[in-house]
């Protein structure tokens, strides 16, 4: 049997095991699978058939972006099919010692070479400076590019994002006049929310030129000059001479890199006042065995979406937090919330494809193909627990244990502004 025939046979076996009727059209005109498919794969290059036969869904995604494969059908059906096509847990290490050795060696090399000031800046700009108008098509009006909080599953995306902003501010126990730092401030939603609703003196940093200019315009429009500022700088360059009472790090850890995590939290320790609080909101790996999802999924994200991005298990995040001389106080998993957020984004992009092409201009189709798969594929990953999302609240203990007679109204050894109960922290917005 020829190689081509063996591939066809394996592809037919894959198709037979899928939960939805699917078909494959080969370059020769031969059709495999269902006569009336809900999802159709049109193979332009036989490499795509090989990846389908292997269940390498990340490689298939690359085939689609590079026009080696066309896909007819909706994204939700595609993700149901993709998870069944892969069939394994992509968070697990390879079973035998040699593939595990190769994976770990590759990870160590990657980690040593992908995070410098110059590379971090270029990688952030490659993603976030694609086009503000493009992101505006599928994000909420505040352009919150992180997991929303669906206190009520029927909430609009805009309401769920405002609930998340308020949730973070409540967990940080923000008070009027406090100095607040937002590391990786994005398009300024949390920065401005904290200033407008909690009266803090707010500073944000970003490496994205587009975001920097956009937030400066918002600050001016809202008349918040002098009380809110955005800086175009690396987190390693944050001024340590005037520490902040409260710090937020939302969606930032993913860009730092595993070797730099402890250094990152030590930096936060230095810019945080004794007794101050920090909220770290970050995507985490669903398993402990791999630095990237198997099946080429991690490679796809690295190449087309988040160059330099790296996920680690929440246990690694907690270890780095304590290595940075911070005390973890509370951890909350928001994994299903991010699955819902991503589906809202994916559906919004699907409904604005024509506008997206106009917003992106040259090379638009390649970017759109990548983002369609990235958003829907990430939603699938959170649904299955391949990736997760944690909010970890921590403090810089001040070392003060009050005399018993002075601490009648609260626990005397908190060493921070955190009361060590959830009485008010969990009063989330349920509108």
Pinpoint the alpha helices (H) of 66-188: 75-86, 97-113, 117-128, 132-138, 157-172
Mind listing the pLDDT tens digit for each residue in 48-61?
A: 999 999 988 899 99
Q: Which domain holds residue 21?
A: 3-86
Q: Hey, how many other C-beta atoms are within 10 angstroms of the C-beta on 257?
A: 22
- Find the CATH number of the domain harbouring 53: 3.30.1050.10
Structure tokens at 53: 């036969």
pLDDT confidence of residue 411: 81
Is there a domain that residue 246 lies in? Answer: yes
**What does each of the 431 residues of the chain score in pLDDT, given as a tens digit?**
566 888 899 999 999 999 999 999 999 999 999 999 999 999 999 999 999 999 888 999 999 999 999 999 999 999 999 989 886 666 665 555 455 555 555 555 545 555 555 555 555 555 556 789 999 999 999 999 999 999 999 999 999 999 999 999 999 999 999 999 999 999 999 999 999 999 999 999 999 999 999 999 999 999 999 999 999 999 999 999 999 999 999 999 988 888 899 999 999 999 999 999 999 999 999 877 655 666 677 788 888 887 777 889 999 999 999 999 999 999 999 999 999 999 999 999 999 999 999 999 888 999 999 999 999 999 999 999 999 999 999 999 999 887 766 656 678 889 998 988 887 665 544 44
pLDDT for the residue 297: 79
Within this chain, do residues 69 and 211 fall inside the same structural domain, yes or no? Answer: no
252 and 154 within one domain: yes
Question: Is residue 106 in a domain?
Answer: no
Provide the domain count of the chain: 2
Both 229 and 347 in a single domain? yes
Global pTM reads 0.89
Residue 421 included in any domain: no
Residue 20 covered by a domain:
yes
Residues 299 and 382 both lie in one domain: yes
Please tell me whether residues 34 and 140 are part of one structural domain. Answer: no
Determine the pLDDT at residue 423. 76
Whether residues 173 and 122 share a domain: the answer is yes
pLDDT score for 430: 43
Q: Is the dihedral of CA 251, 257, 258, 259 positive or negative?
A: negative
Do residue 307 and residue 193 come from a single domain? yes
* Tens of pLDDT, residues 353-372: 999 999 998 889 999 999 99
DSSP β-bridge partners for residue 355: none
Residues 302 and 385 reside in one and the same domain: yes
Residue 348 lies in a domain: yes
Residue 281 tokens, joined: 């909101």
In this structure, the number of other CB atoms found within 10 A of the CB of residue 402 comes to: 14
Q: Distance between CA atoms of 312 and 254, rounded to whole angstroms?
A: 8
78 shares its domain with 147: no
Strands 387-395 vs 327-333: parallel, antiparallel or unpaired: antiparallel
């Amino acid at each position: 049997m020829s190689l081509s025939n063996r591939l066809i046979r394996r592809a037919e076996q894959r198709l037979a095991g899928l939960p939805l009727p699917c078909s494959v059209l080969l370059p020769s005109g031969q059709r495999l699978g269902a006569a009336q498919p809900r999802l159709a794969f049109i193979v332009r290059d036989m490499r795509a058939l090989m990846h389908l036969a292997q269940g390498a869904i990340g490689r298939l995604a690359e085939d689609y972006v590079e026009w080696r494969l066309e896909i007819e059908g909706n994204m939700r059906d595609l993700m149901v099919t993709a998870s069944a096509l892969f069939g394994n847990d992509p968070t697990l290490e390879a079973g035998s010692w040699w593939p595990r050795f190769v994976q770990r060696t590759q990870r160590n090399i990657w980690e040593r070479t992908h995070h410098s000031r110059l590379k971090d800046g270029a990688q952030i700009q490659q993603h976030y400076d694609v086009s503000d108008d493009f992101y505006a098509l599928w994000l909420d009006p505040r352009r919150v590019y992180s997991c929303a909080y669906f206190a009520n599953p029927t909430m609009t995306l805009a309401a769920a994002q405002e609930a998340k902003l308020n949730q973070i501010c409540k967990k940080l126990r923000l008070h009027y006049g406090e100095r607040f730092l937002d590391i990786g401030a994005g398009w300024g939603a949390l920065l401005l929310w904290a200033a407008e609703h909690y009266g803090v003196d707010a500073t944000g940093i970003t490496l994205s030129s587009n975001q920097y200019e956009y937030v400066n315009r918002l600050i001016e429009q809202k008349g918040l000059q002098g009380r809110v500022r955005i800086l175009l700088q690396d987190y390693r360059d944050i001024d340590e001479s005037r520490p902040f009472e409260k710090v937020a790090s939302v969606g930032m850890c993913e860009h730092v890199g595993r070797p730099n995590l402890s250094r990152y939290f030590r930096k936060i320790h230095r810019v945080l006042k004794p007794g101050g609080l920090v909220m770290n909101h970050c995507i985490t790996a669903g398993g402990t065995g791999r630095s990237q999802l198997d099946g080429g999924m991690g490679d796809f994200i690295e190449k087309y979406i988040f160059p330099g991005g790296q996920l680690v298990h929440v246990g690694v995040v907690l270890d780095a937090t304590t290595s940075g001389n911070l005390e973890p106080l509370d951890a909350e998993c928001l994994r299903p919330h991010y699955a819902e957020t991503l589906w809202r984004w994916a559906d919004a992009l699907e409904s604005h494809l024509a506008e997206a092409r106009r917003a992106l201009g040259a090379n638009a189709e390649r970017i759109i193909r990548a983002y369609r798969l990235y958003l829907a594929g990430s939603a699938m990953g959170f649904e299955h627990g391949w990736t997760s999302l944690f909010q970890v609240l921590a403090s810089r203990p001040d070392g003060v244990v009050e005399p018993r007679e002075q601490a009648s109204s609260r626990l005397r050894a908190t060493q921070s502004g955190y009361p060590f109960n959830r009485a008010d922290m969990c009063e989330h917005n349920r509108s």
